[in-house]
Chain A
């Protein structure tokens, strides 16, 4: 087991390196750079852009250098000092921007996860045990609706309803009165009052998926001979279901834990954009749009590294659950 883990960790080093190179290349691929974006913006605003200003900006952002120099500068600063560089667009260190937005992003993602599981788990269980019952049809229909309707559309509809019928101040995670207040109970309540909208929006799709997985796996298990045998012995139905079939059916829950990590950072881009949430998603989107190289690069790098780590965790969990994985590696 230990060698398995060590080996996997070693594989990660070149993977992450390659990811960083590809990331940087992708960001640099489109024509122009942050300056061309800026100039296009300024032109649109009726601001005259002269050669002098451009040279000043280029000097200021060090954009004239060849790509590999820019890459080396960037990656060595991250590797040596955890310095993610400067965001052109915000004119602040990338690390500051991340530190500010990551906590709320994580809170939101974890809440969404809990919400999804709390709904999907009992519903999946119910609709498997009571297959083709009225409740099964009802829940799965709702689930499919959640899966089929695009998240941003649900967000827009919820936002409009909030405005039209409840006079809610829409967008963001706090009311204006609490936005820059210090943390206290009032602010937590205020956060909860706003958090449910994105959580419901983001949760619906995930819930539907998990309900299906749990339902199908459980149905498969419930038909297996060992269940029939157990039932024949007169063991209570509830105990039969919970003891073995449910545990096996839960495998997908465990093995997808690894995917949660990258979702923490980037999973909710469109919804967060629509709802103007102070999370990392919109930051990534705007950084990509304006070719804010260091910010976009850092975010993509972090997401990729989290995916790699998440996959490792998943693999370890699987290896622990399923002996075949370990043995095959030996």
Chain B
């Protein structure tokens, strides 16, 4: 070493090249292509869409036509069912090819459920108004929602080319739904009042789902993001099930559950438009490639989807994800945590260079912040206080909503209570949303006094029944910094009427644990379900599972301990829900029922809100077409957009 200090120029150019070649030769094993500078697997580039545009469309994608020619795939006519589902393209018939580039927050598969994973027996139509057949050729509801008859498509095939029949549904019912090892407890949407459903096969293409009592929301519960049961292939799964393969060991159920994980088991045959090529758990990116047996065609009879591949690049942080979008590397993306008002300036600025636009998307969220006082508080004094409607009205009047909207939500939104959005068809009135939203400290004091809290101490703090100053601790999930900012303002104005607000932040898990234990005064929640999804999930109207304002009452409704019977008004709401909404498949009766429930909720004023959020937006590149335009999509879990807008008819063209 010492002697070599000055000899660093001794390596000659020749030596260097030889060294480089040797290095490359040893490290890059795949023989002849090792020195290639191009991506090894072709067709990942942007050129796919353009190439397709110049050739006639034909009945199937060029990449499949090539495989048919090579003899590795049957002709397209044999792959489609006898009666394929015909999809009307939104603007015009597309061209084949290309890769839909998109991004995903790491490990959260929601965006997959909202796009490539969503093909059930039925589906919402693109306007979120009615349920239409999808995998099923048709369906029929009998006996007020007691019986559901699905007619399947003759000759329809799984992505591996095997037939999809009634036996597959029956397999799910007998071997998964009824198997105690795989389904120890029945999902609440697949039973009614504790009684299981019965599935029967009429013939190879007809299946009946029968509930002992009407369960009119069954179809809506199937149409959600991540449905309670999925369509699974019997022919593939039988080898992993104890009933059909007795050689399996004790842990077979665990293996079976891994085998039906469609995101990670790339061998699992599926019915969706694209099939995964690598497991989701790779955590880096996931590639989905067209399903050669997909059952949809356009009006020309050309098999869908138009797009060859969908590539999801995973991100752990929002920063790179947003930059990637602003850079024009994303064709279509809409997820609430990215497409927030906060990120809008950056994304709007990148539009021209990145070659994309921001399309307005409606948000079914009815409230930025739902304030949930614990109506079943363990301390009797506090419980009486929170349950007093005048006390709640007083607090509501003591919130300066316009100020919070201006300073926390950047001026976007309008003051609103935890009430249905004005767009919902079953409740056309604004009165529930706007009641008690006026900022009026005098009115607030009047209501608090009416509630019986008239005494104040020397420092102007209002005294509770126990003679101590009233303190409300609000438990905020630390992942919502915006809520903490907003509550700082509420704290200031509540103090003016003599109520002290203490802000207590904790991780979502801890908040959940404390809520389950009924150990909190008040908590906050995003008012997510505020559009027609209120029909299937009325948590903001009365205490059901998922509601945050009365744990003991929710448990009374859901089953579970400890529980407590709610007041008469809420019992009436629950009864109405069972009879008129779940108990009948007649839409008019359902709407009348939910309207009554809303009116009770309005009169009782269980929870209060701050503001209705501004609209959201989607990132849509200039080269992806047939995507619905402004205000025609919703950001919803109960109706997964964009999947319901028939993503198989999207196509790529131009840059």
Using CB atoms and an 8 Å cutoff, list the residues of chain A in contact with chain B. 30-32, 36-37, 39-41, 43-53, 55-56, 59-60, 87, 89-92, 96-97, 100-101, 156, 159-160, 163, 167-172, 176-189, 238-239, 242-243, 273-276, 278, 282-283, 285-286, 290-291
CB distance from B621 to the nearest CB of A (A): 14
Does B287 have its Cβ within 8 Å of any Cβ on chain A? yes
Residues of B within 8 A of A187 (CB): 39-40
Among A55, A90, A189, A285, the one with the most B-chain Cβ atoms within 10 Å of its Cβ is A90
Choose among B36, B329, B537 the residue that contacts A184 (Cβ–Cβ < 8 A): B36
5 closest Cβ pairs, A-B complex: A171-B320, A52-B185, A90-B281, A40-B508, A92-B281
The answer for the CA separation of A182 and B507 in the assembled complex, in Å, is 41
Q: Please tell me if the beta carbons of A48 and B261 are within 8 angstroms of each other in the complex.
A: no
Choose among A52, A96, A180, A290 the residue that contacts B187 (Cβ–Cβ < 8 A): A52
CB distance from B478 to the nearest CB of A (A): 11
Q: Which residue of A has the minimal Cβ distance to B510?
A: A31
Q: Please tell me if the beta carbons of A276 and B320 are within 8 angstroms of each other in the complex.
A: yes
Does B62 have its Cβ within 8 Å of any Cβ on chain A? no
Q: Please tell me if the beta carbons of B44 and A39 are within 8 angstroms of each other in the complex.
A: no
Residues of B within 8 A of A238 (CB): 5-6
Q: A-B pairs with CB below 8 Å: how many?
A: 213
Residues of A within 8 A of B6 (CB): 238
The answer for the CA separation of A89 and B24 in the assembled complex, in Å, is 37
Q: Please tell me if the beta carbons of B39 and A186 are within 8 angstroms of each other in the complex.
A: yes
The answer for the CA separation of A45 and B114 in the assembled complex, in Å, is 12
Does B653 have its Cβ within 8 Å of any Cβ on chain A? no
Q: A181-B44, A182-B33, A186-B37 are in contact. Are A48 and B546 (CB under 8 A)?
A: yes
Q: Please tell me if the beta carbons of B28 and A183 are within 8 angstroms of each other in the complex.
A: yes
Q: Which residue of B has the minimal Cβ distance to A31?
A: B513
Using CB atoms and an 8 Å cutoff, list the residues of chain B in contact with chain A. 1-2, 5-6, 24, 27-30, 33-41, 44-45, 101, 106-108, 110, 183-188, 225-226, 254, 257-258, 261, 263-264, 277-285, 287, 311, 313-317, 319-321, 323-324, 326-327, 329, 353, 477, 507-513, 526, 528-529, 533, 537, 539, 544-546, 558-560, 637-638
CB distance from B260 to the nearest CB of A (A): 11
Q: Which residue of B has the minimal Cβ distance to A90?
A: B281
Residues of B within 8 A of A30 (CB): 507, 509-510
Q: Which residue of B has the minimal Cβ distance to A32?
A: B509
Q: Please tell me if the beta carbons of B546 and A176 are within 8 angstroms of each other in the complex.
A: no
Q: Which residue of B has the minimal Cβ distance to A47?
A: B637
The answer for the CA separation of A290 and B105 in the assembled complex, in Å, is 14
Choose among B2, B285, B329, B508 the residue that contacts A180 (Cβ–Cβ < 8 A): B285
Residues of A within 8 A of B327 (CB): 163, 167-170
Q: Please tell me if the beta carbons of B184 and A184 are within 8 angstroms of each other in the complex.
A: no
CB distance from A244 to the nearest CB of B (A): 9
Residues of B within 8 A of A49 (CB): 545-546
Q: Please tell me if the beta carbons of A286 and B184 are within 8 angstroms of each other in the complex.
A: no
Q: Which residue of B has the minimal Cβ distance to A50?
A: B188
Choose among A44, A188, A286 the residue that contacts B106 (Cβ–Cβ < 8 A): A286
The answer for the CA separation of A101 and B281 in the assembled complex, in Å, is 11
Residues of B within 8 A of A55 (CB): 184-185
Q: Please tell me if the beta carbons of A92 and B323 are within 8 angstroms of each other in the complex.
A: no
Q: Please tell me if the beta carbons of A181 and B41 are within 8 angstroms of each other in the complex.
A: yes
